[in-house]
Amino acid sequence: MGRLNSSGKFQLHIDAPAHGGGFLLVSRKGYRVRKTLWMTVTGGLLALAASGHAAIKATDLAVVEANAWRARMGFHLLAIRGDNPEDRESLRILLAQGQNDASALQDKAEPAQEKAAMELGDAWQALSDRALDNPLASLGYADYAAMSEMNTTTLAVIQVAEQAQTDEADYLDIADLSVAMQRVASEYLALAAFPSAGLPTGTGLKPMDFASEARQIDESLAALKQKYQDDAAASDVLDFVGQRWAFVRSTVPKMNDTESKKVPYLFYRYATQVAERVEALVQGQ
């Protein structure tokens, strides 16, 4: 189970997704990675899911998920670009905003939701601590232990948000599309940084099938454009998402080819822009 170790750090036990115990978490609408995670946050999450209270919206939690993948992406960008100061500052800002968002969810929570909301804040703090600590980034390398913990702390945040997800919200399907794209971008940068940095490291998860993920995003984007064709705000955002996706789409299936040319910084920029536009839409900005 997840627990605090002697140094006060949160540790997460993750079983390989085979036939063992633990919880099998299947992502909404097939967008996200299937994973078996055994952790102590479950009890509080059940209280949040059962409350039926709309104070914490489903889209609030989708934004948290997208930003968790973005934090992992930023962590690996530090290694790719030699700990560039601008990249580090962008990551610091993202992590600080994520902590503010987690605090805002605690403020929204009713008494029955408070424990789960606090667990989300704790998980985000652990993620933040790891993301800013990439020991060999300035040398252009990645530390194996740091990569492994980056995976588990990211998945811990995702687990909290996924377990708490119950009610629909405006534009939730668009927010889910953004989460799917951030997850793919995150794994793209991880493998571009170091072949052993992918999600299987420290988790026992299967390698990402990039071709399959790309097809799912294609199909989802087409369906959402049809659904929201009469919604000017949503259509504008989806057109923007489609444009950015078109720039990097052809490189995604090739991530399974170790000899293919990678464009990690371009993917980082466009994925970041997509996340920010979708977040503004779902938050009514």
For residue range 117-127, list pLDDT tens digits in order: 899 999 999 99
Q: Region 138-165: what's the mean pLDDT?
A: 87
The token duo for 85 is: 């100061």
Cα 227 to Cα 147: distance, rounded to the nearest angstrom: 39
122 φ, ψ (degrees, to nearest 5): -65, -40
Domain count, the chain: 1
Neighbours of 223 (CB within 10 A): 12
| Angle of helix 264-282 versus helix 172-193 axis, rounded to 10 | 160
The number of residues making up the chain comes to 285
Burial of 20-48, coded b for 16+ CB within 10 Å and e otherwise, reads eebeebebbeebbbebbbbbebbebbebb
| Average pLDDT of every residue of the chain | 82
Q: What is the mean pLDDT of residues 138-157?
A: 89
Amino acid at residue number 276: E
Average pLDDT for residues 169-196, to the nearest whole number? 95
Are 45 and 117 within 8 A, CB to CB?
A: no
- Model's pTM, two decimal places? 0.80
Q: What is the average per-residue pLDDT within 70-89?
A: 95
Q: What is the pLDDT of residue 218?
A: 97
H/E segment holding residue 211: helix 210-227
**Cα–Cα distance between 229 and 168 in angstroms, integer?**
20
DSSP-derived secondary structure for 35-78 = EEEE-TTHHHHHHHHHH--SSS-HHHHHHHHHHHHHHHHHHHHH
The whole-number pLDDT of residue 125 equals 97
Domain that holds residue 10: 3-282
Q: Which of the four pLDDT bands, split at 50, 70 and 90, describes residue 175?
A: very high
Please check the confidence at residue 200 and state whether its pLDDT lies above 90: yes
| Residues in Cβ contact with 19 at an 8 Å cutoff, skipping those fewer than 6 apart | none
Distance of CA 14 to the CA centre of its chain: 17
Strand order in the sheet with 35-38: 13-14, 35-38, 23-25
Sequence-separated (6 or more) residues with CB below 8 Å from residue 63: 101, 175, 279, 282, 283
Write down the pLDDT at residue 196: 86
Residue 23 pLDDT > 70, yes or no? no
Decide if 183 contacts 32 (C-beta within 8 A).
Answer: yes
Tokens of 9: 């750090």
pLDDT of the residue at 117? 86
